[in-house]
Amino acid sequence: MPETSLISFDSRFAFPEGKPLPDFSALTASDYADAFDRAMAAHGAEIDAIAGDPEAPSFENTILALERAGRPLSRVASLFYALAGAHTDDAIQGVERDVSPKLSRHGSRVSLNAALFARIDALFEARHTAGLDAEALRLLERTHAGFVRSGARLEGTARERFADINARLAELGTRFSQNVLADERAYARPVTEAELEGLPPFLVSAMADAAEERGLTGHAVTLSRSITVPFLSYCPNRALRAEIFDAWTRRGETAGERDNRPVLAEILALRAEKAALLGFPSFAHYKLDDTMAKTPDSVEALLRRVWGKARERALADADTLRQLAADTGDNAPFAASDWRFYAEKRRQAEFAIDESALKSHFQLDRMIEASFDVAGRLFGLRFEALSDAKAWHPDARVWRVLDADGAERGLFVGDYFARASKRSGAWMSALRSQHGIDGGQTPVIYNICNFAKPAKGQPALLSVDDARTLFHEFGHALHGLLSNVTYPSLAGTAVARDFVELPSQLYEHWLTVPAILQKHALHAVTGEPLPQAELDKLEAARTFDAGFDTVEFTSSALVDLLFHKEGQAPADPMAREAEILSGLGMPAEMVMRHRSPHFAHIFSGDGYSAGYYSYMWSEVLDADAFEAFEEAGDAFDPKTAARLRTHVYSAGNSADPAALYEAFRGHGPDPDALMRKRGFAA
């Protein structure tokens, strides 16, 4: 179905001729609600026509027809969920709560359509004699697997229960996400002039902007990571650090309507029941069966291998920080809220790295340019700013993306600043995905970040971690922009969960390539490049606090895995969380990166459920992959970059991820590369 069908459906949801994006301001919450209903009905009619086709099933009249179906629904959903994540309000949230179970029910009507699955199953059984090319065969196999995993083989009451479970999970995931956002929006702790003592100017400026956004005078601490983390790193007031840390780590635990603890308990129970209906021992077995890892045991083995080394390092670091606190006269028991403050003091003492001063060299605009520069050096891409283009918020910026030959690859939208209408975190998604059928379609990809917005007239300054986040999300964006496949369902980031983080995590490596830092890490006032001595310090400190970072992550990944690995969901997930951490020997001076009541990766949807480990699994791949450039002696080696583009960034899900990786690297990933990267190698 071409773009013209979207115009006949409702021109406001189409990409207008001569304009890069639809006009978000022309669409109201009720417009989206109505459009969802009409688009689901239209898609349902298309599905019925495919299922009821009197002709014998063929790739063209069944699989390709499915690829063409539902484009108005995809477009409405892509615009709506961009808004729901990046610039929501009460009306949009109301539609989100209403439409989530409707979309789930609609999806179940498709995947549980017996006549439709019979056609797909017949094609699957004859797949090796159908004369399909490799990508068409891959699409058929993935379509068949998707239907089976979505309950197509279930019968009778099991089919009905499966659809009920999915609808309820969609409803609960929306509630979980909205509860976390509500807690974040509700919290703004005014800070007095005296309490600003010791805070760097960039943070004071961000706190002033946060207060103004919420209608407060002076300065305020919010629960945005871009404010909370630096506040905990620089605030010398121990009691105030503890207060902010407690609020930050207890998001999702507000008693009453916003309490996520009963929500996540029900989610876990329903997931366990869903897996049992499909014949799996646990939800983790169900989710991991369709990944590179394959089994919960293989994931747990990786996580526990890393856990031991990380915990050992973290405990030693805790002793060092406790002594540092005592040496400065702080003899109170060392707490988790103290870690970042004394780690920053230690960083300055051991490496003479002043994170506050370092931020002056990491301007947001320069880092955006740096990410574009790397894409140009590796893949020949160029980016042209479209200053008149409007997205969902004035802060969002739009670029046209051109290939080396001048052909348009697509559009990129970057929305970088935190605000009360945006959910926390950072992510990539698509307003339109690439494909090559019916004349083809270029992608429209966006990145969402939550960096602190500076005072008017001042440059936005990033920490090194912020800059790394920008590069990470842009790596995802390139996975979408460089996609070069035929079928929409195989395009871009539609890959195994433990492979999808490879393009993003790998891209982080280029942030600290000396040629990139020397060109783009320029001082915000003097314009001077980051001195070589500072570059050397950054490299020397590369694995500083690696124990802390790894324990934070791995504890979260293990809790996620073990929550979902047991056939029966825990009756009290918070008690089970505490039991798991106790069994691991979690250092008392640390907490999980994401405690369960605000663990949106896991509970706002099924995407990363039983799959938070995938960041570490992909890190094995990214560490080994970057070593290919190091072996070539050039971070921008053309031959290595060409293989990377062909077999990773452009390939989508056109082949098995293990085969794609080996085609790029020449061999499978080396697990020890992860240990070397994190500084845990023997």
Residue numbers annotated as active site: 473
Residue with tokens 């809790």: 559
- What DSSP letter does each residue of 174-238 carry, written as one string? HHHHHHHHHHHHH--EEE-TGGGTT--HHHHHHHHHHHHHTT-SSEEE-S-HHHHHHHHHH---H
- Do the bridges between strand 427-432 and strand 382-385 make them parallel or antiparallel, or are there none, so unpaired? unpaired
Report yes or no: 663 and 625 within 8 Å, Cβ to Cβ.
no
Cβ burial of 348 (10 Å; 0-12, 13-18, 19+) is middle
Alpha helices in 393-491 (DSSP H): 464-481
**CA 402 to CA 406: how far, in whole Å?**
5
Report yes or no: 530 and 667 within 8 Å, Cβ to Cβ.
no
Strand arrangement of the beta sheet that strand 427-432 belongs to = 382-385, 397-402, 408-417, 444-451, 427-432
646: amino acid identity, one letter: T
In this structure, what are the phi and psi dihedrals at residue 494, rounded to the nearest 5 degrees? -80, 60
Long-range contacts of 509-514 (CB under 8 A, 24+ apart): 509/622, 509/626, 509/635, 510/374, 510/378, 510/471, 510/635, 511/367, 511/370, 511/464, 511/467, 511/468, 511/471, 512/538, 512/539, 512/542, 513/374, 513/635
The dihedral region occupied by 439, where left means phi > 0, alpha psi between -120 and 50, and beta the remainder, is left
By 3-state DSSP, what share of the chain in percent is helix, strand and coil, each rounded to 5? 60, 5, 35
CA angle (607, 290, 118) in 5-degree steps: 105
| SS3 category, 441 | strand
**CA 142 to CA 155: how far, in whole Å?**
22
Contacts of 461 (CB under 8 A, 6+ apart): 202, 359, 360, 362, 363, 364, 454, 524
Contacts of 457 (CB under 8 A, 6+ apart): none
Helix axes 657-665, 497-508, angle to 10 degrees: 30
3-state secondary structure 89-145: CHHHHHHHHHHHHHHHHHHHHHHCCHHHHHHHHHHHHCHHHCCCCHHHHHHHHHHHH
Contacts of 652 (CB under 8 A, 6+ apart): 483, 484, 485, 490, 491, 492, 493, 494, 495
| CA dihedral sign of residues 389, 392, 398, 400 | negative
Query: What one-character DSSP code corresponds to residue 435?
Result: B
Q: How many CB atoms lie within 10 A of CB 536?
A: 12
In angstroms, what CA-CA distances link 589 with 307, 339, 378, 548? 16, 7, 42, 10
Report yes or no: 637 and 210 within 8 Å, Cβ to Cβ.
no
**CA 105 to CA 126: how far, in whole Å?**
30
Contacts of 595 (CB under 8 A, 6+ apart): 249, 250, 252, 577
| CA dihedral sign of residues 382, 386, 390, 393 | positive
**CA 359 to CA 547: how far, in whole Å?**
23
